[in-house]
């Protein structure tokens, strides 16, 4: 697919930006957090970015200017949220603008996404997207609904599709003790991921209570030993590239 030309005037709903981030993909990255999410995760550590209302308007041109200043220090740009694909046209135009500008074209363009987007969205972004980090809250549909308020069918489809297109950078498993961390759940998840890509990059992220809403009080942070154990269980299932955060 070829990208349609970018509009620098296109307006998006922005929650915030971070000039330098070491935790949102490969290398040092400029991160754009868009406002609004399709899911309603109990464990969300930026719950203020969930509602569609809120945040502030920003144009593609505004962000390009900020990115230009930080560019000498970056490997790339990551758009996160909220859920970035909710504003797919804005994401497209920002990524296209980065690709079109000579001094920025070397930057890789990544999405940090919950994967809850239709195929048409991934088709539209294909020409401007270099990689995606997809969260998978649970493989089991019922658990997923309990943790996020929604099913995970589209998410699993997205993971498969992005992998087929060579755009899947990593899958992130956010694990909370007693909620989605049983051996059976981990084994099933590991087997499913390995079925998509036997060497998949998998990041185990322990649930952190910091910043979450009161409704999440039932969730329990796993200890460092528990997080390490999750990685072991996953690695026993298949030869996945597992890192623990």
Partner 1 sequence: MSSSELAGQAAAIVSSRTLGYDAKVRRLASVAASLLDYPALSPACAEALEHRVICDMYEGNRPFTPRYVLPDYARALAAGVRHLELDAPRTLEDALSFLTILYAHVPSVTTYPVYVGDLDALLEPFVPADMTDDALDAALRRFWIQLDRMLPDAFVHANVGPGDGRVIRSIWRVERSLRQVVPNLTLKVSESTPDDLIADAVETVFVTAKPHFVNHAMMTADHGEGYAAVSCYNSLKVGGGAHTLVRLNLFEAVRRHDGGLDSFIVDALPAWVELTCELGEARIRALVEGSGFFESNFLAAEGLVDIDRFSAMFGIFGLAECVNELMARQGRPDARYGHDDAANVASYRITEAVAELVGARPLPYCAGGDGRAYLHSQSGIDLDLDATAGTRIPIGDEPDLREHIMTVAPHHRLFPAGISDIMHVDSTVERNPWAMVDVIRGALGVGMRDFTFNVADNEFIRITGYLVRKSDLVGIDEHGSRHSSDYLAATAEQNHSVLPRAIKRITAIELDPLALV
Interacting residues toward partner 1 by CB under 8 A: 19-23, 26-29, 69-70, 72-75, 243, 245
Give the CA distances from residue 54 to residues 145, 216, 225, in Å, rounded to whole numbers and listed in that order: 25, 22, 38
| Shortest Cβ 184–partner 1 spacing (Å) | 29
| Shortest Cβ 86–partner 1 spacing (Å) | 27
Identify which of residues 31 and 233 has a Cβ nearer to partner 1 in the complex. 31
Question: Could you check whether the bond before residue 82 is cis, i.e. omega within 30 degrees of 0?
Answer: yes
State the Cα–Cα distance between residues 218 and 57, nearest whole angstrom: 35
Identify which of residues 1 and 22 has a Cβ nearer to partner 1 in the complex. 22
Identify which of residues 32 and 185 has a Cβ nearer to partner 1 in the complex. 32
163 CB burial (10 A radius; 0-12, 13-18, 19+): middle
Terminal alpha carbon distance of the chain: 35
Q: Name the one residue in this structure whose structure tokens are 């569609």.
A: 52
Identify which of residues 75 and 235 has a Cβ nearer to partner 1 in the complex. 75
Tokens of 133: 């980090």
What is the DSSP track for 24-80? SSSSSEEEEEES--S---TT-S-GGGSSSS-SEEEEHHHHHHHHHHHGGG-SEEEEE
Q: Which helix (H) or strand (E) holds 145?
A: helix 141-148
| Shortest Cβ 223–partner 1 spacing (Å) | 18
| Shortest Cβ 149–partner 1 spacing (Å) | 29
Name every residue whose Cβ is closer than 8 Å to that of residue 166 and which is 6 or more positions away in sequence: none
Identify which of residues 228 and 243 has a Cβ nearer to partner 1 in the complex. 243
| Shortest Cβ 100–partner 1 spacing (Å) | 22
Identify which of residues 25 and 36 has a Cβ nearer to partner 1 in the complex. 25
| Shortest Cβ 66–partner 1 spacing (Å) | 10
């Amino acid at each position: 697919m070829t990208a349609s030309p970018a509009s620098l005037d296109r307006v998006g709903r922005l929650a915030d930006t971070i000039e330098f981030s070491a935790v949102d993909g490969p290398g040092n990255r400029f991160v754009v957090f868009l406002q609004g999410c399709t899911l309603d995760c109990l464990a969300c550590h930026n719950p203020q970015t969930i509602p569609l209302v809120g945040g502030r308007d920003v144009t593609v041109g505004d962000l390009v200017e900020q990115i230009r200043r930080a560019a000498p220090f970056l490997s790339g740009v990551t758009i996160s949220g909220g859920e970035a694909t909710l504003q797919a046209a804005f994401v497209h135009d920002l990524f296209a603008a980065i690709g079109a500008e000579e001094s920025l074209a070397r930057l890789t363009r990544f999405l940090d996404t919950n994967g809850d987007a239709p195929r048409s969205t991934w088709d539209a972004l294909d020409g401007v997207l270099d990689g995606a980090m997809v969260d998978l809250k649970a493989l089991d549909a019922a658990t997923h609904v309990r943790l996020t308020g929604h099913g995970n069918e589209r998410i699993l489809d997205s993971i498969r599709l992005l992998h087929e297109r060579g755009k899947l950078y990593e899958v992130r498993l956010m694990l909370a003790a007693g909620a989605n961390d049983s051996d059976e759940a981990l084994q099933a998840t590991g087997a499913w991921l390995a079925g998509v890509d036997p060497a998949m990059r998998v990041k185990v992220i322990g649930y952190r209570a910091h910043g979450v809403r009161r409704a999440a009080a039932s969730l329990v942070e796993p200890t460092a030993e528990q997080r390490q154990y999750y990685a072991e269980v996953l690695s026993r299932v298949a030869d996945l590239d597992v890192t623990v955060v």
